[in-house]
Amino acid sequence: MRVLVTGAAGFIGSHLVDQLIREGHQVAGVDDLSSGRAANLADAIRGGAAFHRMDVTDPEVTELAVGWRPEVVCHLAAQISVRASVDDPVNDALVNVLGTVNVLEAARAAGARKVVFTSSVAAYGIPAAFPVSAEAELRPRSPYGASKVCGEVYLDTYRALHGLDFTTLTLANVYGPRQRRDGEAGVVTIFADALLRGAPTHVFGDGRQSRDYVYVGDVVDAYLLACGNRGSGGRFNIGTGIRTTDMELHALVAGAIGSGAMPGHAPVRPGDLPDMVVDPGSAKDGLGWVPATSLRDGIGGTVDWLKQASGGQQES
């Protein structure tokens, strides 16, 4: 299969490219390296992946796609920060909405069979019930969440108008090797990096905020399944259905490191959701996907990676 991956040099995208190459597929990656790192793709490029430093809002993405003729386009490139989207909603929409439309145009013009789109639990906003079903109402409460919903609306429109198939993967809190520690999402990496250095850590409020943590390797499995014929026109929650509080997560990371450190407490950030956990049941039924990695094992893998990446070199 020929797969074009946008956001290929990023945390999740680079693991996806690695797995596609391992499974013998042909891969072209696109990334502007605004937060991704070329080094994340070093192995994949040695394995035959092509890399194009390109902005997803640029019309040259269509030229690339028409020339290379991918069967599937996995779209992961995005402005990923909720806070940045509040500060600069225009830039968020430029990358996440217009970028997605540009990628859909590229996929259509190239005659691709399918687009696998990356959405976020931020699309649900403040859920009415937990665990959040994939059929829950989309009422985003941030420009970032709104941009993901816009992407989903365009996917549906392109399917109806042009017959371009899609599957949307709505990701919970993804963690694992290569996640940056300077982002707002990478709390496993943030805790682990600080604890390994003996630096202080903190949780927001009383530490009882909870999230649904899913390992990047399991997320990549979902993309591989979505690249096939299953999940046509559907949205699937890619999470574990397990809620983990900030204090529980801290204890697990500290345990993996062998640290007895306790976190300090910082004020709750305005706009932070108290809880988030999704129901991944429809991903099992629709894609045949189930999360396979326990939080303990996934944290172990992440800590091992951080230990190997000598101080500061895992980020550019």
Ligand X SMILES: NC(=O)c1ccc[n+]([C@@H]2O[C@H](COP(=O)([O-])OP(=O)(O)OC[C@H]3O[C@@H](n4cnc5c(N)ncnc54)[C@H](O)[C@@H]3O)[C@@H](O)[C@H]2O)c1
List the one residue from 78, 187, 192, 194 that touches ligand X (CB under 6 A). 78
Closest distance of CB 175 from ligand X, Å: 7
* CA distances, 137 to each of 119, 126, 169, 310 (Å): 14, 10, 16, 44
DSSP character string of 95-159: IIIIHHHHHHHHHHHTT-SEEEEEEEGGGGBS-SSSSBPTTS--B-SSHHHHHHHHHHHHHHHHH
Catalytic residue, from 124, 144, 175, 213: name it. Answer: 144
Structure tokens at 223: 């993309």
Q: Is 175 a catalytic residue?
A: no
User: Based on CB atoms, which residue is closest to ligand X, 183 or 261?
Assistant: 183
* CA distances, 44 to each of 9, 68, 132 (Å): 10, 18, 35
List the one residue from 174, 242, 254, 257 that touches ligand X (CB under 6 A). 174
Asked whether position 99 contacts ligand X by CB under 6 A, the answer is yes
User: Based on CB atoms, which residue is closest to ligand X, 51 or 158?
Assistant: 51
Q: Count of residues binding ligand X (CB under 6 A)? A: 28
Asked whether position 77 contacts ligand X by CB under 6 A, the answer is yes
What is the distance between the alpha carbons of residues 169 and 151, in angstroms, rounded to a whole number? 12
List the one residue from 100, 102, 120, 244 that touches ligand X (CB under 6 A). 120
Structure tokens at 150: 């816009």
List the one residue from 20, 27, 95, 150 that touches ligand X (CB under 6 A). 95
What is the distance between the alpha carbons of residues 211 and 171, in angstroms, rounded to a whole number? 12
Asked whether position 34 contacts ligand X by CB under 6 A, the answer is yes
Residues 187-246 that bind ligand X (CB under 6 A): none
What torsion, rounded to 10 degrees, do the Cα atoms 149, 151, 154, 158 define?
Answer: -130
Stretch that binds ligand X, among 70-78, 188-196, 242-250, 281-289 (CB under 6 A): 70-78
Closest distance of CB 262 from ligand X, Å: 25
User: Based on CB atoms, which residue is closest to ligand X, 13 or 177?
Assistant: 13
User: Based on CB atoms, which residue is closest to ligand X, 67 or 258?
Assistant: 67
* CA distances, 32 to each of 29, 58, 161, 251, 307 (Å): 10, 10, 29, 36, 28
Residues 277-316 that bind ligand X (CB under 6 A): none
User: Based on CB atoms, which residue is closest to ligand X, 60 or 200?
Assistant: 60
Structure tokens at 208: 């009882």
Asked whether position 9 contacts ligand X by CB under 6 A, the answer is yes
Q: Collapse the DSSP code of 210 into the 3-class scheme (helix H, G, I; strand E, B; otherwise coil) and give the result.
A: strand
Asked whether position 76 contacts ligand X by CB under 6 A, the answer is yes
The residue type found at 54 is M
Q: What are the φ and ψ backbone dihedral angles of 292, each rounded to 5 degrees?
A: -110, -15
User: Based on CB atoms, which residue is closest to ligand X, 92 or 165?
Assistant: 92
Q: What amino acid positions are annotated as catalytic residues?
A: 144
The site for ligand X (CB under 6 A) is made up of 7, 9-13, 31-36, 55-57, 76-80, 95, 99, 118, 120, 171, 173-174, 185
